[in-house]
């Protein structure tokens, strides 16, 4: 990942949530990286340890389209 133009796409309360979104985006060809994955598990109640999903700035619009169209809580619950 080109780290010169990296932004935080979203933050999550748990690494599990971030991993699901990471999998969805990477299966569509959007390169991602998770920040604070381990520290959020070690110190889960610290506000400084939010799990962040970062991507290249050039992929932001594509990532938002994928998330808006391809995954929501109703789909995850099987409705």
- Total domain count, the chain: 1
53 vs 39 pLDDT, higher one: 53
- What's the CATH code of the domain at 66? 3.30.70
76 vs 8 pLDDT, higher one: 8
Confidence of residue 60 (pLDDT cuts 50, 70, 90): very high
Q: What is the pTM of this model?
A: 0.74
What Rg value do the Cα atoms of the chain yield, rounded?
13
Token duo for residue 15: 């690494």
pLDDT of residue 30: 95
Q: Which domain holds residue 36?
A: 3-76
Phi, psi dihedrals of residue 28, rounded to the nearest 5°:
-100, 5
42 vs 36 pLDDT, higher one: 36
């Amino acid at each position: 990942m080109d780290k010169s133009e990296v932004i935080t796409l979203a933050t999550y309360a748990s690494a599990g949530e971030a991993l699901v979104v990471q999998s969805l985006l990477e299966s569509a060809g959007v390169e991602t990286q998770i920040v604070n994955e381990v520290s959020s598990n070690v110190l889960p109640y610290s506000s400084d340890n939010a799990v962040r999903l970062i991507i290249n700035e050039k992929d932001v619009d594509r990532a938002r389209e994928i998330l808006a169209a391809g995954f929501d809580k109703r789909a995850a619950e099987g409705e």
